[in-house]
Amino acid sequence: MGHLYRVWNGELSLEKAFWEWAVAGGLAVNLLSSALFLVLMLNDQLIAAVIVGYGFSIPYNLLVTVGVWRSAEQYPGEQRWAELAKLVTVIGMILLSVT
């Protein structure tokens, strides 16, 4: 839980929050939850599919979006990178949440 707390509070470097948590973690969580969703749907488990499909990915996507945003606010480098990380994360997490 300590890692999740650090992500949520923006205590990670922007690079770590974005590349490890948003990009790599986001793809892993969302691909896994989508695969489980499809398997459950094919087995006529609609309620379980919705819970698995959205119950894991949406909270994760929200956590990561807030974490990247907060890390970007503290980024000491060029602000264009911080703003780009915010934009890409918000768009990416919205797309991953609705697909």
Residue 11 has a pLDDT of: 97
Domain ranges within the chain, ordered by starting residue: 16-98
Candidates 2, 22, 5; CA nearest to 72 is: 22
User: Do residues 48 and 29 touch, judged by C-beta distance below 8 A?
Assistant: no
Residue 96 has a pLDDT of: 85
Residue 99 has a pLDDT of: 72
pLDDT in tens, the chain (99 residues): 799 999 999 999 999 999 999 999 999 999 999 999 999 999 999 999 999 989 999 999 999 999 999 999 999 999 999 999 999 999 999 998 887
The pTM (predicted TM-score) of the whole model is 0.89
Whole-number Å distance between alpha carbons of 50 and 3: 27
- On the 0-12 / 13-18 / 19+ scale of CB atoms within 10 A, 59 is exposed
